[in-house]
Structure formats: structure tokens, C-alpha cells
Amino acid sequence: MTIETCITTDIEKAARFLQAGELVAFPTETVYGLGANAYDTDAVKKIFAAKGRPESNPLIVHIGAAQDVEKTAIHIPENARMFMDSFFPGPLTLILERAPLLSSVVSAGRATVGVRMPDNEIALAFIHTSGTVVAAPSANLSGKPSPTTWEAVREDLDGRISCILMAEWTTVGLESTVVDCTVDPPVILRPGSRTLSELQGVVPSTTFSSGRSPDSHDGPRSPGTTFRHYTPEATVIVVDVVQEAVRAAAPEKKIAFIGLDSPPDISDFALTHIASGLTDYAKSVFEFFRRCDRAGVEVIYCQSVADLELGLALMDRIRRAAAR
Ligand code: TXA
Ligand code: MG
């Protein structure tokens, strides 16, 4: 069924859709989110339908003020309080024990809930005006690259959701760091722009679960990280040095390149993005994938970076885009 999608900059209008049990895509500092009232089970169910998201994959609840964590979670441990004091608002999601009043559909039936306070004025005003807490995954069709522009949201969800709260390009470009605070020491389940060393600066025992091997004993991953993700239509190939991409450039194929170093002859490529640094690379990568799809690119070469700090989060997304 197709519904009319209202595209607006009017925060109050968007909030009214949310209050009426409808879905509203809204900007955050990481990527655009697809929001529903987290206390309204029917509204939350619409998120899974609109995205084609597996119902076993839990959603993050977005709060407009740090004290609203009490509306979503109970028995909040001291480690989580310390992370909140240092990093809320910001690109960090805390996994906590779910408050009984919250729809269990939000957490896919789990006893836990992911909570985050976005560092984006429009997002915070939207949540405040809605007068509730907002369950929201990234506002893309399941499996597609996360949306960093409102146009990308429209591309995936026009006719499937009631409203897009239109704003600028998101600043971070990769989804939040997810850290499980129901265990001690806390464990990073999904890397993001809040890095392991930043978290360790607050809770030194914090660890990272790479979870590459399902049999490994380094703890569970965030369920979402086991699903196919971030995948453009084009084939994604990771290259260590630019020369590899150039050598591999078959003239009959439409190819693209994103990385930190410019290839010697960019005319080999239909599209290129030479990032000014790691921050720009992270901010640009998902929209670059989408641009490539729009242009009918067949192969996207992504230059690898060191698996450190923001680079760890970036390579996590790029490797999963490359895994077929
Ligand atoms: O930056 C972000 O986190 C964006 C913006 C919109 O806030 N949201 C986002 O949501 O990336 P989503 O649904 O695409 O990814 C949420 C991740 C998934 O890997 C999910 O499995 C995990 O968080 N997650 C959510 N609730 C969880 C829970 N209770 N336990 C473990 N993992 C959880
Ligand atoms: Mg997502």
C-alpha cells in the first residue's frame, strides 16, 4: 500500500504525525532515523514493515534529555551513568535493562533496550515536541546503505512512511557506537565514532567484541551486525593501495573509487571521492555508494584505512558492504 509522504522542515507538523502513531524520518548527527512512538506497539510494528527489517533485530530508543533514560530502562548501572555524563548527547547507544512499560516489540522481545540521545538540535526539538521517546533504526530499506541525506530517505521510503523531517546532510555519517552496559566490563557490540579509547577514558575496563567468529568466546554481537548490510547494487572491493584499483580497472566496466589518496588518473573512474581525511571519508561513504548506484556503477573500489579509532567503524561498514 502506498501512502502519501509529507516532506517538511516543520518540526511541529512532524511531531503530530508521530503522536498520531505514524512513522517520521528525522535527522540525527549520525544518519537519518525512522521514528515511531516507542510506547505505541502498532506504530513500532510499522517500522519493521516499512523497512523490510527482520523482526528479530531490536531498535534503538532516542531520548530528548538525559534524565529520560528512566523512561526506557531500569537498574541503570554506574558504568552507564558515567558514559551518559561524558557522552550524552552523542553518537553512543547504551544497552540497558528494558523498562516494562516500553513496547517489547522495540527490543524484538529482549529484556534489554538500546538508548541514545542524539547530538542534533532538530532531532532533540522533534523528540521534545513529540513528548515521548522515539524508537528509530536507520531510515533506509533493510540492507541498503544508511541514509545521510533526506533525499536518500526519500529514495528508499517515499510512499512507505508518513513524513520526512527534512534537514542537512548528517555530520558523522556512520551509525552510533553500541555498548552493552548490562555486563561488567561493558562491551562494544558495534564500533562507531565514539571510539574504544574514548570509552576506556571513562570506564577503563571497556572491551570490544569483534565477534568475527560465531564460536568465539568474546561475547555476543549486536544482533543487527549479523544481517546483510550497507550493500549498494555495485560490487564493493576493498583495496590497500590506489595502484591496485587502477590495475584492476577493466575498461569495459563502469567503476568508481573512494579513498584518501587520489589515483594517478582519475579519468579511469566514472565517479571518485578523494576524502580530505578520515572524518570526511566516514561522512561521505554511504552517500557515495548511493551516487554510484544512481550512476549505474558496477564496481566500487574502497581504499582501506587502519582499523583504529574511527577507522575501525569505517572498515566495519565497508567490509560488510563488500561481503556478498
Ligand atoms: O546512529 C545510530 O545508531 C542510528 C541513528 C538513527 O540513531 N540508528 C541505527 O539503528 O543505526 P539501526 O537499527 O540501524 O541499528 C541499531 C543496532 C543494530 O545492530 C541492533 O541490533 C542494535 O543496535 N541493538 C538495538 N537494540 C539492541 C539490544 N537491545 N541489544 C543488542 N543490540 C541492540
Ligand atoms: Mg541500520
Count of CB atoms situated within 10 Å of the CB of 251 = 6
The CATH code of domain 6-218 reads 3.90.870.10
The closest alpha carbon to 109, from 181, 58, 37, 42, belongs to: 58
Model pLDDT for residues 42-100, shown as the tens digit of each residue: 999 999 999 999 999 999 999 999 999 999 999 999 999 999 999 999 999 999 999 99
For ligand 1, say whether the CB of 114 is within 6 Å of any of its atoms: yes
> What CATH number does domain 235-322 carry, 3.40.710.10, 3.40.50.11030, 3.30.1330.10, 1.10.10.10?
3.40.50.11030
> What's the sign of the alpha-carbon dihedral 88, 77, 79, 96?
negative
Give the domain ranges of the chain: 6-218, 235-322
pLDDT (0 to 100) of residue 225: 63
Residues measured by CB to lie within 5 Å of ligand 2, the ion: 138
Angle at 173 between CA 52 and CA 70, to 5 degrees: 70
Q: What pTM was computed for the model?
A: 0.94
Average of per-residue pLDDT values in the chain: 92
Q: Show the low-confidence residues of the chain (pLDDT under 70).
A: 211-229, 244-251
Distance CA(123)–CA(179), nearest Å, equals 21
Query: Which of 150, 175, 176 to mutate to test ligand 1, by most ligand atoms within 8 A of the CB atom?
Result: 175
For ligand 1, say whether the CB of 147 is within 6 Å of any of its atoms: no
For ligand 1, say whether the CB of 186 is within 6 Å of any of its atoms: no
